[in-house]
Amino acid sequence: MDSNTTTRVSGNELLKAGCPTLAGTILPTLRDPQADRFSEEDTQFLKFHGIYQQDDRDLRKTGKKYIFMVRLRLPGGVMQPAQYLVCDDLCSRHANGTLRITSRQGIQFHGVVKSGLGPLIQQVNQALLSTLAACGDVNRNVMAPPTPAVDDLGKRVRDDARRVALAVAPATPAYHSIWVDGVELNLEEPANREFVDPLYGKTYLPRKFKIGFAIPPSNDVDVLSDCCGFIAIADPAGQLLGYNLVAGGGMGRSHGNAATFPRLADVIGFLPADRVVETARTVLTIHRDFGDRGDRKHARLKYVLEDRGAAWFRAELESRLGFRLEEPKPYRFETIQDRLGWGQQADGRWFLGVFVQTGRIRDTERLRLKTGLRQAIERFQPEIRFTPANNVILANIASSDRAEIDRLLRECGLDTAAQGTPLARASTACVAFPTCGLALAESERVLPGLVERLEALLAEAGLPGEEFNIRMTGCPNGCVRPYLAELGFVGRAPGRYQLWLGGNRPSTRMARPFLENVKEADIEKELRPLFTRFRDERQTGEGFGDWCARVIWPTLPAPAGSPTSAPAS
Q: What is the pLDDT of residue 562?
A: 58
Between 5 and 105, name the one with better pLDDT.
105
228 catalytic, yes or no? no
Q: What is the pLDDT of residue 558?
A: 72
Least confident piece of the model among 236-240, 245-249, 384-388, 490-494: 236-240
CA distance 121 to 544: 44
Q: What is the pLDDT of residue 559?
A: 66
Q: Which of 19, 87, 135, 436 is catalytic?
A: 436
370 catalytic, yes or no? no
What is the DSSP pairing of strand 240-247 with strand 228-234?
antiparallel
Q: What is the pLDDT of residue 4?
A: 43
High-pLDDT (> 70) share of the chain, %:
97
Q: What is the pLDDT of residue 66?
A: 96
Short-list 404, 382, 379, CA closest to 392:
382
Between 193 and 286, name the one with better pLDDT.
286
CA distance 101 to 359: 5
Q: How many CB atoms lie within 10 A of CB 264?
A: 25
Show Cβ contacts of residue 225 under 8 Å, excluding neighbours closer than 6 positions: 210, 212, 249, 250, 251, 262, 264, 265, 481, 484, 507
Short-list 296, 313, 300, 305, CA closest to 8:
296
Asked if residue 375 lies in contact with residue 178, where contact means CB atoms within 8 angstroms, the answer is: no
Instruction: Provide the mean pLDDT of the chain.
Output: 95
208 catalytic, yes or no? yes
- In the predicted structure, residue 307 carries a pLDDT above the cut 50: yes
- In the predicted structure, residue 565 carries a pLDDT above the cut 70: no
Q: Which of 158, 210, 302, 368 is catalytic?
A: 210
210 catalytic, yes or no? yes
Q: What is the pLDDT of residue 187?
A: 80
pLDDT band at 569 (very low <50, low <70, confident <90, very high): very low
Peptide bond into 217 cis (omega under 30): yes
Peptide bond into 529 cis (omega under 30): no
475 catalytic, yes or no? yes
pLDDT band at 193 (very low <50, low <70, confident <90, very high): confident
Q: What is the pLDDT of residue 561?
A: 60
Q: What Å distances lie between residue 138 and 19, 168, 262, 521, 558, CA to CA?
A: 15, 8, 20, 40, 31
525 catalytic, yes or no? no
Task: Print burial letters for 81-109: b (CB count within 10 Å at least 16), e (below 16).
Answer: bebbbbbbebbeebbbbbbbbbbbbbbbb
pLDDT digits (tens, 9 = 90+) for 89-106: 999 999 999 999 999 999
Q: Which of 73, 100, 104, 208 is catalytic?
A: 208
Q: What is the pLDDT of residue 55?
A: 95
140 catalytic, yes or no? yes
Domains along the sequence of the chain with CATH: 138-179+190-336 (3.30.413.10), 341-419 (3.90.480.10), 424-555 (3.30.413.10)
Mean pLDDT score, 350-375? 97
Please state whether the predicted TM-score (pTM) of the whole model is above 0.85.
yes
19 catalytic, yes or no? no
Q: Which of 16, 19, 47, 71 is catalytic?
A: 71
Secondary structure letter of residue 506 according to DSSP:
T
pLDDT digits (tens, 9 = 90+) for 458-506: 999 999 999 999 999 999 999 999 999 999 999 999 999 999 999 999 9
pLDDT digits (tens, 9 = 90+) for 31-67: 999 999 999 999 999 999 999 999 999 999 898 999 9
> Helix 310-321 vs helix 301-308: angle between axes, to the nearest 10 degrees?
110
Least confident piece of the model among 3-12, 154-163, 448-457: 3-12
